[in-house]
């Protein structure tokens, strides 16, 4: 019974109103990010975080890592498709034929994607993976 009285007292205090408001704001913000989590608008913020901000909290670490994984996967997909075409195993549609030069770093690919998104702000609501694929292809299309 004493615990119930304590809980009721805490819930009716001015501090609980503040805590409730903060929790509601956090949930609202999390839901907004959650509903848009795959968009360029969300992911690009985390792809370009300064290193000291990446480690500021676990959410930043997760989303920075997610961005890095998507960028790496997009680059890998294009490299594997190009390798298969060079072997003669497949004939790629012009969009899928992308030739990322050897030695290009993950950061350079991220910069290409960021620059493309800056030049095409009307597209950043689209899924980040799609933005990455288009940006990479436009930067390094196959040579005819």
Q: What are the pLDDT digits (tens) for 48-77?
A: 999 899 999 999 999 999 999 999 999 999
Q: State the Cα–Cα distance between residues 30 and 28, nearest whole angstrom.
A: 5
Please write the tens of the pLDDT for every residue from 92-123. 888 889 999 999 999 999 999 999 999 999 99
Residue 16 pLDDT > 50: no
The dihedral built from the CA positions of residue 20, 23, 29 and 30, taken in this order, carries a sign that is negative
For residue 141, give both structure tokens: 């299309």
């Amino acid at each position: 019974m004493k615990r119930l009285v304590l809980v009721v007292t805490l819930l009716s205090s001015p501090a609980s109103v503040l805590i409730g408001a903060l929790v509601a704001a956090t949930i609202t913000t999390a839901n907004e990010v959650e509903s848009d989590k795959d968009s360029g608008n969300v992911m690009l913020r985390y792809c370009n975080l300064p290193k000291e901000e990446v480690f500021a909290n676990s959410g930043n670490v997760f989303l920075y890592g997610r961005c890095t994984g998507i960028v790496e996967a997009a680059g890998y997909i294009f490299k594997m498709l190009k390798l298969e075409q060079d072997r003669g195993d497949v004939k790629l549609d012009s969009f899928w034929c992308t030739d990322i030069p050897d030695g290009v770093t993950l950061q350079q690919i991220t910069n290409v994607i960021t620059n493309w998104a800056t030049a095409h702000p009307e597209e950043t609501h689209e899924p980040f993976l799609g933005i990455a694929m288009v940006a990479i292809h436009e930067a390094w299309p196959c040579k005819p």
